């Protein structure tokens, strides 16, 4: 099979060849374009063929920008290949502005196309990437299920009867199915890590402020971050090398890292102190036995890699009050920008009714409370380098988790999905979902690694070690 020649006339191998190209990942795709083994147009055409063939069953994309992407690919082929993503097709979650496209936030209530790219998308294009489309999300990213009244359900490529998680579920489904090699998402309570866990991807929520949220000063106040979903740790590091850096308008800038993220992977982490814990910060939630098994198998793998790993009981603080205040403030701020508030989902209108009872001073108190929780977490990391936990309590639910559900029901169904993730949005610490095999139901398993503030490099190095001893990227749905 000649995966480097997707435009050859034989139709019998076309689908397989397109799949081989898309599952290469963005680093190798960029290398093929840079060395002349492949044109950007051929790569983009392969992505668009797979989207046309597979996405009707997945619902990963809200809009596919086929003609714009082909024109952009032709322009890349006419240029000298210099950027680290030159000619590579990527997708963008529908909460980030892409010039000429409406930023819907998963809602029917917004109609006017964005005049310019968001800062994150601008940096992708500056690195040579080709934007092929915008991916689906629940309305305003409120839920860990990618379902909306306006755009329907997004499905998990490993089992299309199950959810891919959310809120960046469209981006996760697109990467897991090999429609693109990488896609941008956002994480305000687990929205990168949850779909990464559901879909078998690597998803790192970086330190708060690591990636600019411009043109907006923040994403759900101190909760939200922007980042990629990828199949490999190296692809994630490459994307963050492109994306990292603050803009003058950002309210929460991060301290710059000392070296490039890819270069950081060249240095072994050494022997680290890693604590593990299966107790969530959310009371009344218990982890599924398969998730406990994945946690303990990861403990064994880390010990075999030479790390000091011990069980800890860190008494993780309940961050509900700080989270809810910023969640309500963030949804309110996004909803205030829409043109047709009458078209918002009924659940969202209930959220807004509660949010409008909350004064801005209460939201700011939530931000300050989160900083106090971050200081408590910092004391925990005085005795360990990383914390290992589950990502999810429950297995991915059947599609339709939000069908007919009111606000309280949706909240109840969401709690097992965010039990280990939302705390680290409140504190701002970096945290990653790392693949950990597959469960008896055929769906992926994952564990979460949490690092000290501004210490993504250590987290990446350990994730790369785990990827080496149990490679996950070769597995396809």
From residue 392, give the alpha-carbon distance in Å to each of 290, 291, 295, 359.
Answer: 11, 8, 11, 32
- CATH fold, domain 14-469, is Amidase signature (AS) enzymes (3.90.1300)
CA distance linking residue 163 with residue 395, whole number of Å: 10
CA distance linking residue 49 with residue 46, whole number of Å: 5
Q: Report helix, strand or coil for 21.
A: helix
CB 391 within 8 A of CB 446: yes
Confidence band of 12 (pLDDT split at 50, 70, 90): low
Q: Tell me what pLDDT residue 474 has.
A: 83
Question: Beta strand 182-187 with 202-205: parallel, antiparallel or unpaired?
Answer: unpaired
Q: Tell me what pLDDT residue 81 has.
A: 85
Q: Which of 220, 202, 207 is nearest to 335 (CA)?
A: 220
DSSP structural state of residue 269: -
pLDDT in tens, 92-151: 999 999 999 999 999 999 999 999 999 999 999 999 999 999 999 999 999 999 999 999
pLDDT in tens, 57-93: 999 999 999 999 999 999 999 998 889 999 999 999 9
Contacts of 256 (CB under 8 A, 6+ apart): 244, 245
- The H or E element that residue 34 is part of is helix 26-34
Confidence band of 43 (pLDDT split at 50, 70, 90): very high
Ranges of beta strands (E only) in 49-157 are 61-64, 89-93, 130-135, 147-148, 152-153
CB 170 within 8 A of CB 135: yes
CA distance linking residue 43 with residue 88, whole number of Å: 7
**Residue reference for tokens 């309940």:** 318
**Share above pLDDT 90 across residues of the chain, in percent, rounded to a whole number:** 92
Average pLDDT of the residues of the chain: 95
Contacts of 202 (CB under 8 A, 6+ apart): 196, 229, 230, 231, 232, 233, 235, 236, 432, 433, 434, 435, 463, 467
Exposed (0-12), middle (13-18) or buried (19+): which is 413, by Cβ within 10 Å?
Answer: middle
Edge-first strand listing for the sheet containing 182-187: 61-64, 130-135, 89-93, 182-187, 225-230, 202-205, 431-438, 444-451, 386-390, 273-276, 308-311
- CA angle (123 as vertex; 121, 124 as ends), nearest 5: 65
Confidence band of 315 (pLDDT split at 50, 70, 90): confident
Catalytic residue numbers, as ranges: 93, 167, 191
Confidence band of 317 (pLDDT split at 50, 70, 90): confident
Exposed (0-12), middle (13-18) or buried (19+): which is 283, by Cβ within 10 Å?
Answer: exposed
CA distance linking residue 446 with residue 448, whole number of Å: 7
Q: What residue segments make up the domains of the chain, in order of their start?
A: 14-469
CA distance linking residue 137 with residue 169, whole number of Å: 6
Q: Report helix, strand or coil for 355.
A: helix
CB 188 within 8 A of CB 330: yes
pLDDT in tens, 243-277: 999 999 999 999 988 889 999 999 999 999 999 99
**Share above pLDDT 70 across residues of the chain, in percent, rounded to a whole number:** 97
Span 284-310, average pLDDT:
97
Confidence band of 11 (pLDDT split at 50, 70, 90): low
Q: Tell me what pLDDT residue 257 has.
A: 84
CA distance linking residue 291 with residue 32, whole number of Å: 38
CB 389 within 8 A of CB 291: no
Confidence band of 282 (pLDDT split at 50, 70, 90): confident
Predicted model pTM: 0.96
CA distance linking residue 386 with residue 456, whole number of Å: 10
**50-54, 73-77, 95-99, 469-473: the lowest-pLDDT one:** 469-473
Q: Tell me what pLDDT residue 231 has.
A: 98
Exposed (0-12), middle (13-18) or buried (19+): which is 101, by Cβ within 10 Å?
Answer: buried
CB atoms within 10 A of CB 260: 15
**Residue reference for tokens 């917004």:** 110
């Amino acid at each position: 099979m000649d995966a480097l020649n997707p435009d050859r006339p034989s139709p019998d191998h076309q689908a397989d060849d397109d799949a081989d190209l898309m599952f290469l990942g963005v680093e190798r795709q960029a290398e093929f374009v840079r060395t002349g083994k492949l044109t950007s147009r051929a790569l983009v055409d392969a992505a668009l063929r797979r989207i046309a063939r597979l996405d009707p069953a997945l619902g990963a994309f809200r809009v596919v920008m086929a003609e714009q992407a082909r024109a952009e690919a032709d322009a890349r082929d006419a240029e000298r290949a210099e950027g680290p993503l030159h000619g590579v097709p990527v997708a963008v979650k529908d909460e980030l502005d892409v010039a000429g496209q409406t930023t819907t936030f998963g809602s029917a209530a917004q109609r006017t196309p964005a005049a310019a790219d968001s800062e994150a998308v601008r940096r992708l294009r500056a690195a040579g990437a080709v934007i092929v489309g915008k991916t689906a999300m629940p309305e305003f990213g409120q839920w860990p299920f990618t379902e909306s009244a306006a755009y329907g359900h997004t499905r998990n490529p490993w089992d299309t009867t199950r959810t891919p998680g959310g809120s960046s579920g469209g981006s996760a489904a697109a990467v897991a199915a090999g429609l693109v090699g990488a896609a941008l998402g956002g994480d305000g309570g687990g929205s990168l890590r949850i779909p990464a866990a559901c879909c078998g991807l690597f998803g790192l929520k970086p330190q708060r402020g690591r990636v600019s949220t411009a043109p907006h000063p923040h994403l759900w106040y101190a909760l939200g971050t922007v980042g990629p979903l990828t199949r490999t740790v190296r692809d994630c590091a490459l994307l963050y090398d492109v994306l990292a850096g603050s803009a003058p308008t950002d309210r929460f800038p991060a301290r710059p890292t000392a070296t490039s993220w890819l270069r950081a992977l060249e240095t072994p982490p050494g022997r680290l102190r890693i604590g593990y814990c299966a107790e969530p910060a959310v009371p009344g939630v218990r982890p599924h036995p398969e998730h406990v098994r994945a946690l303990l198998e990861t403990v064994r793998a880390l010990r075999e890699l030479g790390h000091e790993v011990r069980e800890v009981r860190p008494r993780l603080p309940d961050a509900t009050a700080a989270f809810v205040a910023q969640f309500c403030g963030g949804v309110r701020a996004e909803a205030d920008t829409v043109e047709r508030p009458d078209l918002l989902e009924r659940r969202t209108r209930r959220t807004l009714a509660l949010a409008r009872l909350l004064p801005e001073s209460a939201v700011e108190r939530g931000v300050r409370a989160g900083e106090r929780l971050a200081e408590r977490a910092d004391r925990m990391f005085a005795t360990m380098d990383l914390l290992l936990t589950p990502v999810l309590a429950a297995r991915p639910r059947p599609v339709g988790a939000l069908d007919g559900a009111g606000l309280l029901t949706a909240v109840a169904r969401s709690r097992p999905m965010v039990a280990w993730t939302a705390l680290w949005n409140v504190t701002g610490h970096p945290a990653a979902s790392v693949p950990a095999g597959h469960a008896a139901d055929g769906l992926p398993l994952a564990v979460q690694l949490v690092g000290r503030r501004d210490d993504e490099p250590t987290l990446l190095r350990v994730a790369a070690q785990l990827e080496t001893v149990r490679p996950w990227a070769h597995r396809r749905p």
